Amino acid sequence: MAQHDIEITITKTGEVKAHIKGVKGKGCGSYKKLLAEIVGKIKQEQATSEYYEPDEKNRINLEQGH
């Protein structure tokens, strides 16, 4: 199974930026929905080249770091 990563940055002004990596096609929509539930309304989004590749099945497992 391919590894999917979400890189999250919180700026000094409190703005949250997220970059979803390793998800091909429109499958990133499930991650986008999850992020919106966590941080609130999405202000801006930009598709990467992976978005335009064929879709793949996604399964989200949440793990909390120690």
pTM of the model: 0.58
How does pLDDT run across 16-46, given as a tens digit for each residue? Answer: 888 888 887 777 788 888 888 888 888 888 8
Residue at 44 is within a domain: no
**Per-residue confidence (pLDDT) for residue 20, from 0 to 100:** 84
Which domain, by its residues, includes 13? 1-39
In a domain? residue 30? yes
DSSP string, the chain: ----EEEEEE-TTS-EEEEEES--GGGHHHHHHHHHHHH-S-------GGGGSPP-----------
Confidence of residue 54 (pLDDT cuts 50, 70, 90): confident
Q: Pick 58 or 3 by higher pLDDT.
A: 3
In a domain, 11, yes or no: yes
- 49 found inside a domain: no
What pLDDT score does 13 carry?
92
How many distinct structural domains can be found in the chain? 1
